[in-house]
Amino acid sequence: MIYIASPYTHDDPDVRAMRAHKAAEYAAWLMATKGLDAYSPVAHGHALVTAYPSLAVPHERWMEHCLRMLKWCDDDMHILTLAGWHESKGIRIEISQCVLNQTSIIFVPQLYAEPKPD
């Protein structure tokens, strides 16, 4: 399974929603057009928090979840290079975990992080 890392945290809720949408769109594209299994904690978590706002817990709690899921993903980690990715504390932590686990990291240019339907 491919783990999709992407930025999420932002003061503007519309930016968070857009980032979650882009992550979900990329995961769906990998699954629908490439036949690959993919998991995005941003797409997953945003949907959960939208449905159940009390799940908007501190960043550290979500990172625990992300790192547990990253262990289950036995393929590459894809980093969506959306605006803010290089400043993301979460992505830095995920990269460190991949280095420790010798998991390949693929940087997905923003152009390709915005797939269009085939």
- Whether residue 118 lies inside any domain: the answer is no
User: What is the DSSP code string of 6-68?
Assistant: -----S-HHHHHHHHHHHHHHHHHHHHHH---EE-HHHHHHHHHHH-GGG---HHHHHHHHHH
- Whether residue 80 lies inside any domain: the answer is yes
Q: What's the structural domain count of the chain?
A: 1
19: its two tokens: 């980032």
Helix/strand/coil for 97: helix
| Domain of 9, in residue numbers | 2-108
- Whether residue 103 lies inside any domain: the answer is yes
- Whether residue 102 lies inside any domain: the answer is yes
**Domain CATH for 42:** 3.40.50.10400
Per-residue pLDDT of the chain (118 residues; tens, 9 = 90+): 999 999 999 999 999 999 999 999 999 999 999 999 999 999 999 999 999 998 888 888 889 999 999 988 888 999 999 999 999 999 999 999 999 999 999 999 876 555 555 5
Distance CA 109, CA 114 (A): 9
